[in-house]
Amino acid sequence: MANYSSFGDILIIAPLAYGVVGALRKFLDLPRRLPRGNKALNWIWVPGVLLYLGARALDVRSTNLDDAYLLLVLSVVVAVVVAVRDYRPARSLLLAVSPFLLYKLVEFVVESPTGKVPKQYDAALDTTQGFAIIWLITFIFIARSQKKQLEKERLLREEEDKAKRLIEAQNAELERLVNERTAALTHQAEELRTALTELKTTQAQLIQSEKMASLGELTAGIAHEIQNPLNFVNNFAEVSAELVTELEEEREKPDRDLELEADLLADLKQNLQKIHQHGGRAASIVRGMLEHSRASSGERVPTDLNQLADEYLRLAYHGLRAKDKSFNATLKPDFDPNLPPVEVISQDLGRVLLNLLTNAFYAVKQRQQRGETGYAPTVSVSTRRVGDQVELRVKDNGTGMPESVQAKIFQPFFTTKPTGEGTGLGLSLSYDIVTQGHGGTLAVESREGEGTEFVISLPA
């Protein structure tokens, strides 16, 4: 066992103590865990130097002051370790230093003032010293291993925290992007809703415009078509007035001719029947105009398609002639006399016929204006029963259509007419009326430069 007999050993212990304490400060990370105590440990060498200077000044030549200083250093180390005992390696160091401190304390107590240990304690203290040193070294390694483990755990936590912060940053960025995208989509949705509202309004206006254009065509045709029965009514009324006058004169004669009176009454009766007949015709035309102009009721009623087709054939023809007095065309009605009444919405189907016939007359007029020799504008309408279907065909020998136009003819807003002469909704609405409103079909067959035929098929 080493036995310090000179206080000069303090000068060796002091720097060693400073180095050990410095390693302890670094090992336990005292600048962060115990900042005030860490600063105080910078002066651990001062008590040793003061003891040395005091011993020199007092001329103390044999003492165990070096053990006292060593005990002081060990006590400080134990106090520091206790102060940071929450740190697991510090607890291991506390276990490591405690036996050595106890050994030094016992040695200090049993030593004589000259630093000698009684012989009866010498062997026991040597054994205790060896055990304390082995214990100290073992637990220092344990503490070092714990520190490495804690360091790995700390680095792992830092990586996890870094990854967590990265994920949180990414989530925040994604949330920001989602919010921006949501705001953009909401704005786009608002714009689309506004555009859809405007589109529906425009669509309603265009449909109404198309209906008014159709009504205009119908009105022009009616103005001419109704003129004939009105002329008959006026003429027969005038003739009837003359017959009444002649009858009154004959009755005032003293010698009345009863046979002549009978003939006059028969003529008058016949004229009144003609007036009633043509008045009914005029009333029928007016009634058809009113039905066409008002909104569809959606109710299907048995309808004579032959009469409906013939009426609208003449109305469409006279409608075009109202715009162009020089236009003439040959009308070819070909109706199946055995065709049964078909349940349709007459005003809707009338709009379809008027649109198809107006287009047919427009096509033959366009071809006529080309000045082809021997060309005679012709529009025909025919009906026939085909199985459980009724076919209604509208045919013209006009300009015809290429296949590229036929593929688009029923699309909304598509038109071959110049700007201002068509909205491009007529055939689209007609197609919807036939297919959706009546469960039928509307097809077109055309050859460019030869003519066009529209075929309406309806359930019989």
3-state helix/strand/coil string of 201-244: HHHHHHHHHHHHHHHHHHHHHHHHHCHHHHHHHHHHHHHHHHHH
- 282 and 394 in a single domain? The answer is no
Check residue 5 and give its pLDDT. Answer: 41
- 278 and 410 in a single domain? The answer is no
Most confident of 33-47, 285-299, 328-342, 399-413: 328-342
- 338 and 408 in a single domain? The answer is yes
- 266 and 359 in a single domain? The answer is no
Q: Within a 10 A sphere around the Cβ of 426, how many other Cβ atoms?
A: 22
Q: Mean per-residue pLDDT for 104-114?
A: 71
Q: How many domains does the chain have?
A: 3
What is the residue range of 55's domain?
Answer: 7-166
Share of the chain above pLDDT 70, in %: 82
Tell me if 66 is assigned to some domain.
yes
Q: Mean per-residue pLDDT for 16-30?
A: 82
Tell me the average pLDDT of the chain: 79
Check residue 453 and give its pLDDT. Answer: 92
Q: What's the pLDDT band for 210 if we cut at 50, 70, 90?
A: low
Better pLDDT: 139 or 222: 139
Q: Is 286 helix (H, G, I), strand (E, B) or coil?
A: helix
pLDDT-wise least confident of 165-169, 181-185, 210-214, 444-448? 210-214
Q: What's the pLDDT band for 405 if we cut at 50, 70, 90?
A: confident
Residue 75, pLDDT > 60, answer: yes
Single-letter amino acid, residue 318: H
Digit-coded pLDDT (tens) for 160-190: 999 999 999 999 999 999 999 999 999 898 9
- 118 and 231 in a single domain? The answer is no
**pTM more than 0.85:** no
Helix/strand/coil percentages in the chain, nearest 5:
70, 10, 20
Q: Mean per-residue pLDDT for 16-20?
A: 82
Tell me if 107 is assigned to some domain.
yes
Check residue 3 and give its pLDDT. Answer: 37
CB 47 within 8 A of CB 72: yes
Most confident of 34-48, 200-214, 412-426: 34-48
CB 221 within 8 A of CB 318: yes
- 89 and 105 in a single domain? The answer is yes
Residue 135, pLDDT > 90, answer: no
Q: In terms of Cα–Cα distance, which of 66, 65, 19, 26 is closest to 44?
A: 19
150, 166, 182: which is the final residue of a domain?
166
Q: Are strands 301-303 and 389-396 parallel, antiparallel or unpaired?
A: unpaired
Distance CA 227, CA 314 (A): 13
- 376 and 351 in a single domain? The answer is yes
- 258 and 312 in a single domain? The answer is no
Strand order in the sheet with 451-459: 330-334, 378-386, 389-396, 451-459, 441-447
Distance CA 251, CA 394 (A): 57
- 337 and 413 in a single domain? The answer is yes
Q: Mean per-residue pLDDT for 39-49?
A: 81
Distance CA 63, CA 2 (A): 15
- 108 and 77 in a single domain? The answer is yes
Q: Within a 10 A sphere around the Cβ of 96, how many other Cβ atoms?
A: 23
pLDDT-wise least confident of 175-189, 202-216, 255-269? 202-216
128, 150, 166: which is the final residue of a domain?
166
Q: Within a 10 A sphere around the Cβ of 342, how many other Cβ atoms?
A: 23
Which run of H or of E encompasses 37? helix 35-40
- 323 and 459 in a single domain? The answer is yes
